């Protein structure tokens, strides 16, 4: 079997672009992958075009060797653009391998260790009463782990100090209203400094939050080490990490308690399984990032089925959330929730089917930017 074509499809689905990638072979078996570098899809497509030049004619079954060649085939190794491209290709190659051997992808990773995948629900609102009511609806629908947040997340100017005071109060009210049994977290999306993040944690009674996601930017692991010493709230970090090497200081240093690994950013199945084993050795549970389309969800489900140390997978199909990125007619077969869990599939490959005629007629790629936030003084800050 040989690779005959690699075709990236940048399309607009629901509320954002998706970059899905098809790898074709001379035996008529193909695989699908997805890239996770949202809003920089054109850069990833450029990397895929470079990789395509030497992948045509290669054996798609050699996933480990091809991963190493993709990563090591340039002097300037690594980086999010390259690993997002590698991720999409690696996922598609595993889809091909599973279909060729007649087994689900999780079988290639050691077999399933669970039959269903628990998820955490995403609940957002712009006032605490609505947030609590929405959280109760999600709990009634079966979720026992929720990430709470604010719906209007692109408001500028943005002042972190005023915001942390408000959200700390919301979280305190939510814990009191929802009880102690439900697992609660909040995502600060890199918006804070070390001092601001510590202040946010200190404004809430002990036990309010079970995890705090991405409170500060990740470029300086030492800053996370300082913050780790200033609060006892568990951290969930890593959705933007692009290799096992980027995870290294956070795992070895004990900076995070949940690894927010993104299979479409970290390097696909090949790299994700290495990070999972490393986390297991340090008693760190996985809480995979899953904000994209059905291919990302399917890949995440197969990966999550095969690891020992899973907490919950991110899920945006909670009551009140619009999941048009999952429900597009392009995807004629995709993973669907049963209550608050995904059932682990047993058909060969990923288990995702795409209507390629609909794909070719899909809404085309749009230039799309994440919000550019400013503070009141006019300076730029993190979204």
The pLDDT of residue 257: 98
- Average pLDDT over every residue of 281-307: 97
- Average pLDDT over every residue of 61-85: 96
The pLDDT of residue 324: 74
- Residues 211 and 135 placed together within one structural domain of the fold: yes
- Residues 156 and 232 placed together within one structural domain of the fold: yes
Q: Print the domain residue range for 188.
A: 107-348
Q: How confident is the model at residue 275 (pLDDT cuts 50, 70, 90)?
A: very high
- Residues 100 and 70 placed together within one structural domain of the fold: yes
- Residues 232 and 321 placed together within one structural domain of the fold: yes
- Average pLDDT over every residue of 46-64: 98
- Could you read off the pLDDT of 185-213 as tens digits, one per residue? 999 999 999 999 999 999 999 999 999 99
pLDDT at 301 over 90: yes
- Average pLDDT over every residue of 270-299: 97
- Average pLDDT over every residue of 28-39: 96
What's the chain's length in residues?
383
The pLDDT of residue 343: 97
pLDDT at 60 over 80: yes
- Average pLDDT over every residue of 57-83: 96
The pLDDT of residue 320: 83
Are the C-beta atoms of residues 97 and 108 closer than 8 Å to each other? yes
pLDDT at 77 over 90: no
Are the C-beta atoms of residues 34 and 292 closer than 8 Å to each other? yes
- Residues 112 and 157 placed together within one structural domain of the fold: yes
Any idea which residues carry the catalytic annotation?
Answer: 189, 289
Task: Pick the closest to residue 225 from 235, 240, 239 (CA basis).
Answer: 235
Q: Three-state DSSP class for 118?
A: strand
pLDDT at 284 over 90: yes
Rounded CA separation 322/326 (Å): 9
- Residue 7 contacts by C-beta under 8 Å, 6 or more apart in sequence? 21, 22, 23, 24
The pLDDT of residue 327: 84
Rounded CA separation 306/116 (Å): 11
- How confident is the prediction for the chain on average, in pLDDT? 96
- Residues 277 and 216 placed together within one structural domain of the fold: yes
- Residues 176 and 115 placed together within one structural domain of the fold: yes
- Residue 200 contacts by C-beta under 8 Å, 6 or more apart in sequence? 164, 167, 168, 188, 192, 212, 215
- Residues 166 and 299 placed together within one structural domain of the fold: yes
Are the C-beta atoms of residues 337 and 317 closer than 8 Å to each other? yes
Task: Pick the closest to residue 123 from 191, 190, 171, 179 (CA basis).
Answer: 171
- Average pLDDT over every residue of 176-188: 98
The pLDDT of residue 321: 83
The pLDDT of residue 134: 97
To the nearest whole percent, how much of the chain has pLDDT over 90? 95
- Could you read off the pLDDT of 108-128 as tens digits, one per residue? 999 999 999 999 999 999 999
CA distances from 145 to 121, 133, 276 (A): 6, 15, 21
- Residues 82 and 139 placed together within one structural domain of the fold: no
- Residues 283 and 145 placed together within one structural domain of the fold: yes
Last residue of a domain, one of 49, 71, 104: 104
CATH label of the domain that carries residue 13: 3.30.390.10
Nearest-10 Cα torsion for 211, 217, 221, 225 = -50
- Average pLDDT over every residue of 78-83: 94
Tally the domains of the chain.
2
- Residues 226 and 130 placed together within one structural domain of the fold: yes
- Could you read off the pLDDT of 348-362 as tens digits, one per residue? 999 999 999 999 889
Query: Is 278 part of any domain?
Result: yes
Are the C-beta atoms of residues 268 and 33 closer than 8 Å to each other? yes
The pLDDT of residue 185: 98
Q: Three-state DSSP class for 19?
A: strand
Rounded CA separation 14/78 (Å): 30
- Could you read off the pLDDT of 315-333 as tens digits, one per residue? 999 988 877 788 888 999 9
Rounded CA separation 46/35 (Å): 12
CATH label of the domain that carries residue 145: 3.20.20.120
């Amino acid at each position: 079997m040989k690779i005959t074509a690699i075709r990236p499809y940048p399309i607009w689905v629901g509320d954002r672009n998706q970059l899905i990638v098809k790898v074709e072979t001379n035996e008529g078996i193909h695989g699908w992958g997805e890239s996770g570098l949202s809003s920089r899809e054109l850069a990833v497509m450029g990397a895929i075009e470079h990789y395509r030049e030497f992948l045509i004619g290669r054996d798609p079954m050699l996933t480990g060797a091809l991963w190493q060649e993709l990563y090591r085939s340039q002097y300037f190794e690594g980086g999010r653009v390259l690993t997002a491209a590698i991720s999409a290709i690696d996922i598609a190659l595993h889809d091909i391998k599973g279909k060729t051997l007649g087994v689900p992808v999780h079988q290639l990773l050691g077999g399933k260790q669970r039959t269903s995948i628990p998820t955490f629900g995403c609940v957002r609102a712009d006032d605490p009463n609505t947030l609590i009511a929405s959280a109760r609806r999600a709990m009634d629908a079966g979720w026992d782990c929720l990430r709470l947040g604010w719906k209007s997340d692109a408001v500028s100017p943005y002042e972190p100090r005023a915001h942390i005071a408000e959200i700390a109060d919301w979280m305190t009210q939510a814990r009191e209203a929802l009880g102690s049994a439900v697992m609660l977290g909040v995502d600060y999306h890199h918006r804070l400094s070390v001092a601001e993040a510590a202040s946010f944690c200190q404004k809430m009674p002990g036990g309010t939050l079970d995890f705090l996601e991405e409170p500060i930017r990740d470029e300086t692991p030492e800053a996370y080490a300082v913050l780790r010493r200033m609060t006892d709230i568990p951290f969930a970090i890593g959705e933007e990490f692009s290799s096992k090497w980027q995870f290294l200081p956070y795992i070895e240093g004990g900076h995070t308690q949940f690894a927010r690994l993104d299979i479409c950013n970290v390097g696909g199945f090949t790299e994700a399984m290495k990070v999972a084993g490393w986390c297991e050795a340090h008693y760190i549970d996985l809480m995979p990032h899953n904000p994209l389309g059905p291919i990302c969800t399917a890949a995440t489900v197969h990966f999550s089925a095969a690891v020992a140390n899973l907490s919950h997978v991110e899920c945006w199909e909670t009551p009140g959330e619009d999941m048009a990125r999952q429900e597009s007619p392009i995807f004629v077969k995709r993973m669907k929730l049963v209550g608050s869990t995904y059932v682990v599939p047993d058909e060969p490959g990923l288990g995702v089917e795409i209507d390629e005629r609909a794909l070719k007629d899909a809404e085309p790629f749009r230039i799309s930017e994440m919000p550019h936030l400013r503070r009141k003084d006019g300076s730029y800050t993190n979204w």
